[in-house]
């Protein structure tokens, strides 16, 4: 075993006992050794472990669990055999009440780091969880490769392109998994060539399945390395015979080596071009590439929280920033005078307009563009929003948008966050004019370290 050369040095391979203090934002256990923070995946607060160093950086140490000397009372046996090999289930070793407590603590950690105005007095409620925190994901997006002569479909190991085959995955629905494994068998039986990343050869790269919880129907998309799809008709016929739930079969073309999963060209192969999902009474027709929340049950709860927090009336003019396919704005449109939404993805805006039409909602307008560019333009044109909901990506709000918010100062303001760190950072500026009435954490992704938060802000 490597030994440190001085009392203060730590080397890869070194082992030492470590008491775990809390869980970090990525779900890893955190302890301290020689005044350095130690990140150790799979370890839980209250545990004493023997840590084995895997990497030493100037300000932190990465380690793995060599042995657990004292086990936490909330440790459980992970459901998935692939726990520790793939992402998306990094908290399966922690019981569900422990996960909900951690997700509230992650919000607290972020506030303590960025210290927005009055953060110590914020009212942070308990995390809203699920009655059944399993089989909740309505979409699976699995890479397909050949491993040791057998076809495999699954996810990459973290920070690698090593594919882990996933015959089962406890956060996916039974239907999405059944469809993927059946399609994989059909591809193998028909001899359809799958993608070889090393040689940039072969056809089938990825299988994507989305299920509608409302109808029980599914959409299948085959992402391919070229427009060619050998044995296409035989495959379509077999899918329609063996998987009657699949009512939409699409092909997406994504040529060559790329970090992007999806390409620009999508081809309709069979069945419908969309499937329909329903949230809080609003119907959404979803194309293959349309963004839609992966956990519809919790999404419906989240939108109810947004509705309660905004407390809208028939005179309000609501801006739905980062609107996607219109889910939030359309669910609130019957309570306000008008809704304006914007998104940078043209397909999403077309879908939002279409969803408004099929639900016969006539007081919405949707625009292609960045919120940080459009909102200032609208203000210049004399439009004054009275209510605002923002649901930004993990990067948080753009500075221009924060400036526009602080210029327009809508009286009703809700920030929906999927990243406590960027939320706390943004609140530093927003709380110069707003006060935080409540932060409601919500568990959108059980078994993972991710947490959503619905933040109610009012003008000072």
CA distance 445 to 148: 33
| Residue ranges with strand state E in 46-195 | 48-56, 60-70, 139-147, 150-156, 163-165
Q: Which residue has the tokens 């099929």?
A: 358
| Residue ranges with strand state E in 254-357 | 265-271, 275-279, 282-286, 317-321, 338-343
CA angle 132-168-157, nearest 5°?
Answer: 105
3-state secondary structure of 192: coil
CA distance 139 to 136: 9
Cβ distance 319 to 340 under 8 Å?
yes
Here the tokens at position 197 are: 């990343």
* Local structure of residue 193 (DSSP, 8 states): P
Contacting residues for 353 by C-beta, under 8 A, at least 6 apart: 326, 366
Count CB neighbours of 256 within 10 A. 8
3-state secondary structure of 366: strand
Residue 80 burial (C-beta neighbours within 10 Å; 0-12, 13-18, 19+): middle
Nearest CA among 371, 364, 287 for reference residue 326: 364
Q: Is 418 a catalytic residue?
A: yes
Q: Which residue has the tokens 């879908």?
A: 351
Q: Which of 267, 379, 409, 418 is catalytic?
A: 418
CA distance 120 to 108: 9
Residue 233 burial (C-beta neighbours within 10 Å; 0-12, 13-18, 19+): exposed
By annotation, the residues acting in catalysis are 418
């Amino acid at each position: 075993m490597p030994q440190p050369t001085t009392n203060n040095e730590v080397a890869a391979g070194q082992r030492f006992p470590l008491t775990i203090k809390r869980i970090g934002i990525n779900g890893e256990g955190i302890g301290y050794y020689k005044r350095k923070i130690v990140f150790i995946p799979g370890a839980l607060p209250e545990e004493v472990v023997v840590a084995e160093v895997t990497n030493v950086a100037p300000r932190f140490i990465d380690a793995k669990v060599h042995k657990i000397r004292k086990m936490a009372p909330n440790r459980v046996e992970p459901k998935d055999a692939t726990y520790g090999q793939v992402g998306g289930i990094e908290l399966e070793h922690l019981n569900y009440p422990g996960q909900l407590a951690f997700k509230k603590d992650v919000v607290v950690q972020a506030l303590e780091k960025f210290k927005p105005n009055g953060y110590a007095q914020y009212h942070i409620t308990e995390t809203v969880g699920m009655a059944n925190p399993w089989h909740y994901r309505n979409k699976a997006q699995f890479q397909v490769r050949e491993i040791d002569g057998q076809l495999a479909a699954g996810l990459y190991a973290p920070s690698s392109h090593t594919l882990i085959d996933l015959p089962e995955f406890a956060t996916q629905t039974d239907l999405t998994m059944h469809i993927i494994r059946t399609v994989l068998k059909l591809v193998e039986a028909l001899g359809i060539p799958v993608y070889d990343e090393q040689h940039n050869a072969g056809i089938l790269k990825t299988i994507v399945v989305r299920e509608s919880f409302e109808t029980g129907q599914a959409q299948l998309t085959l992402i391919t390395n070229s427009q060619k799809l050998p044995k296409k008709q035989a495959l379509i016929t077999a899918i329609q015979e063996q998987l009657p739930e699949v009512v939409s079969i699409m092909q997406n073309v994504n040529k060559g080596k790329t970090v992007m999963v999806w390409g620009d060209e999508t081809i309709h192969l069979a069945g419908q071009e969309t499937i329909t999902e329903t949230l809080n009474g609003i119907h959404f027709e979803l194309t293959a590439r349309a963004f839609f929340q992966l956990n519809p049950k919790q999404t419906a709860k989240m939108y109810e929280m947004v509705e309660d927090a905004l407390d809208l009336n028939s005179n309000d003019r609501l801006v739905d920033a980062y609107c996607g396919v219109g889910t939030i704005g359309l669910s609130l449109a019957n309570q306000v005078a008008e809704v304006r939404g914007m998104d940078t993805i043209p397909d999403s805006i077309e879908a939002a307009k279409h969803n408004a039409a099929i639900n016969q909602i006539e007081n919405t307008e949707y625009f292609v563009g960045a919120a940080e560019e459009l909102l200032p333009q609208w203000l210049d044109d004399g439009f004054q929003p009275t209510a605002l909901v923002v649901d930004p990506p993990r990067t948080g709000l753009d500075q221009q948008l924060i400036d526009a918010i602080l210029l327009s100062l809508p009286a009703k303001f809700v920030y929906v966050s999927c990243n406590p760190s960027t939320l706390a950072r943004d609140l530093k500026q927003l709380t110069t004019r707003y006060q935080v009435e409540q932060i409601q954490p919500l568990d959108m992704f059980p078994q993972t370290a991710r947490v959503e938060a619905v933040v109610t802000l009012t003008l000072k």
